[in-house]
Amino acid sequence: MSIRWDDTSARAVACGERANRRRRCTARIVPGSAVEQARNCHVGKPHVALCNMQYRIILHSVPVFKPVFLLSEEKFRLRSKTNHQANCSKDSHKRICCCIQKRYTGVYTGWPVCRRRRKDGIVMKKFKVGVVGATGMVGQRFITLLVNHPWFELTTLAASARSAGKRYEDAVGGRWLMQTPMPEQVKDMIVLDASHVEEVASQVDFVFCAVNMKKDEIKALEEAYAKAECPVVSNNSAHRFTPDVPMVVPEINAEHIEIIPAQRRRLGTKRGFIAVKSNCSLQSYVPALHPLRGYGITKCLVCTYQAISGAGKTFETFPDILDNVIPYIGGEEEKSEQEPLKLWGRIEGDRILPADGPSFTAQCLRVPVSDGHMGAVFVSFERKPTQEEILAAWAGFRGPAQELELPSAPKQFLHYFTENDRPQPKLDRMLENGMAVSIGRLRPDTQYDYKFVCLSHNTLRGAAGGAVLLAELLAKKDYLD
């Protein structure tokens, strides 16, 4: 399909006869197509009128999973908010059209954004979001991911009492650890005290939590936010083994969020809850193992080589790591052995029961790499697959995050490299914006059936990015409404 028009404007959103005179489209509308449905949807509706060319541009340039916002001129504007909501409730209208939003059109007409949620799960508003623990490395990463997010609007930053009351730029000082500059829109935001739960919760729809505190203090703080009817999406480990708290990798166990109603009953909340992401080291090897579970994984040995950003460090702040490897990371081996079983567990009643197997054993080392956790994996099966079957399973795997087309989800979750010297952190950690998993060197082993190596970005897929992806899943499934 080719679309051509005779003006050079990049904004194909103006409507009505004037736009039709300025632009010409020779493309034919296929009967029964989405374009025809969109056109027919607006026949006789005064609030939106687009030429056929504009329908095609919008439907083919904006991913279908995102809201498609159609802009009208003055004479076609909404007659009333009530009329708009009535039109939005019609099935034919819901199939293609949403309301007007600056994010997608670049122009705002002054009419309010419809806050209905369509039955297909498309988010119809931006959620106001806070970051608790905003001054640390993971908190900074959250900020870089949220400033231009299509569904989430960063409105609140919270940290410790020593940072409270300061401009964010002043609170961070010289400790900005991201490779990109601090976003201008957060520099002048006043940091709130994270312990003032009601104050923070009153300003947001939900929070991301990335605080650096003792585990029991984190548990209490996150439950306080949840009981204040403020959902918490946590990067912390404190609640990972709370039986009714879902620990979710959206490609692997998205169904575990269905435990949230049981958690709300325990907490006595109508809206508040806690959901967590798994440990950063798991994000390299568990996704690679997951598509192979049908062959009956019996045992797995993994050695992880973990970047210094996982400890919140840079080479400037961690000089001891230069020309060195540290063969111990407190608590990492236990997490690496136990958390996969909760990810592969099942909901039974008001709790998530971990899977009975396979057995895991892990060794975790800190290595002189800025970002990117690598795992060397050895695995055995009840029914040993061929190498071709393993490669096909990886290539064909699509999880719920891909099926739902969540904004942060990689198009291809698992990437296999045929080169013997790949993947490498420096070359491959930013694959698909740091949200994909890289795999290489699949080959038979003398003690196990197979061995391979895998890599993920520990502060994107493994930390803030994974939490944002989890929040997108929760939004899509109505848990944040």
What are the residue boundaries of the structural domains of the chain, listed by start?
A: 17-105, 127-279+466-476, 282-456
Check 15, 51, 97, 280 and give the catalytic one: 280
- Mean pLDDT over 377-405 rounds to 98
Predicted local distance difference test score (pLDDT) of residue 466: 98
Q: What span, in angstroms and rounded, lies between the C-alpha atoms of 42 and 39?
A: 6
Predicted local distance difference test score (pLDDT) of residue 249: 98
Q: Is 454 among the catalytic positions?
A: no
Any idea which residue has 């929040």 for tokens? Answer: 471
- Mean pLDDT over 5-9 rounds to 34
Q: Is 373 among the catalytic positions?
A: yes
Which tens digits make up the pLDDT trace of 157-167?
999 999 999 99
SS3 72: coil
Q: Compute the Cα dihedral for 193, 174, 466, 292 and give only its sign.
A: negative
Predicted local distance difference test score (pLDDT) of residue 110: 33
Predicted local distance difference test score (pLDDT) of residue 70: 38
Which tens digits make up the pLDDT trace of 225-284?
999 999 999 999 999 999 999 999 999 999 999 999 999 999 999 999 999 999 999 999
- Mean pLDDT over 375-384 rounds to 98
Instruction: Tell me how long the chain is.
Output: 481
- Answer with the residue of higher pLDDT: 121 or 229: 229
Any idea which residue has 């198009």 for tokens? Answer: 411
- Mean pLDDT over 199-207 rounds to 98
Predicted local distance difference test score (pLDDT) of residue 147: 95
- Answer with the residue of higher pLDDT: 48 or 39: 39
User: C-alpha angle 300/305/309, rounded to 5°?
Assistant: 130
Check 84, 93, 239, 373 and give the catalytic one: 373
Split at pLDDT 50, 70, 90, the class of 37 is low
The hierarchical CATH code for the domain 282-456 is 3.30.360.10
Query: Does residue 124 register a pLDDT over 90?
Result: no
Predicted local distance difference test score (pLDDT) of residue 99: 35
Which percentage of the chain shows pLDDT scores above 90?
Answer: 74
Secondary element (H or E) of residue 353: strand 351-353
- Residue 439 DSSP symbol: E
Mean pLDDT of the residues in the chain:
82
> In 3D, which of 226, 219, 223, 239 has the Cα closest to residue 270?
226
The hierarchical CATH code for the domain 127-279+466-476 is 3.40.50.720
- Mean pLDDT over 405-428 rounds to 98
Instruction: Judge contact between 124 and 98, C-beta under 8 A.
Output: yes
Query: Does residue 67 register a pLDDT over 50?
Result: no
Query: Does residue 358 register a pLDDT over 90?
Result: yes
Which tens digits make up the pLDDT trace of 278-312?
999 999 999 999 999 999 999 999 999 999 999 99
Query: Does residue 2 register a pLDDT over 90?
Result: no
